[in-house]
Amino acid sequence: MNLLEQRCQGAGVSAMAESDVRRHLSQVSGWQLIGGAIEKTFRFRDDLETLAFVNALGWMSHVEDHHAELRVTYDHCVVRFNTHSVGGISLNDFICAAKADALVAFAA
């Protein structure tokens, strides 16, 4: 099933094996495995675009009940997902990564 069509799971989600993480990385463009999380830097023209992305990402995270770690500067935002409750990376992280990508694709 397409990652964009899925919803994050609450109870019952589990950490993925590294081989599964690497396989799922092929489904989300530009995301990398870094320090136990998947991470991507989104670049924008200015602070208004960056903040619009951060606000949209915040709403998506609220709806999915799965939140990212963000580092926000004037023209970019670094987004990191991992699932603290399982001590690793889960399918929820990839669902949210795909949805973050879709936010930027929609705005382009």
3-state secondary structure of 90: coil
Domains held by the chain: number: 1
Is residue 1 in a domain?
A: no
Is residue 23 in a domain?
A: yes
Residue-by-residue pLDDT tens, the chain, 108 positions: 699 999 999 878 899 999 999 999 999 999 999 999 999 999 999 999 999 999 999 999 999 999 999 999 999 999 999 999 899 999 999 999 999 999 998 665
Is residue 31 in a domain?
A: yes
CB 64 within 8 Å of CB 96: yes
pLDDT at residue 28, as a whole number: 96
pLDDT at residue 107, as a whole number: 62
Q: pTM for this one?
A: 0.94
Domain span holding position 73: 15-107
Is residue 10 in a domain?
A: no
Is residue 75 in a domain?
A: yes
Q: Rounded to an integer, what distance in angstroms lies between the CA atom of residue 57 and that of residue 69?
A: 11
CATH value at residue 33: 3.30.1360.20
Per-residue tokens: 37: 């999380």
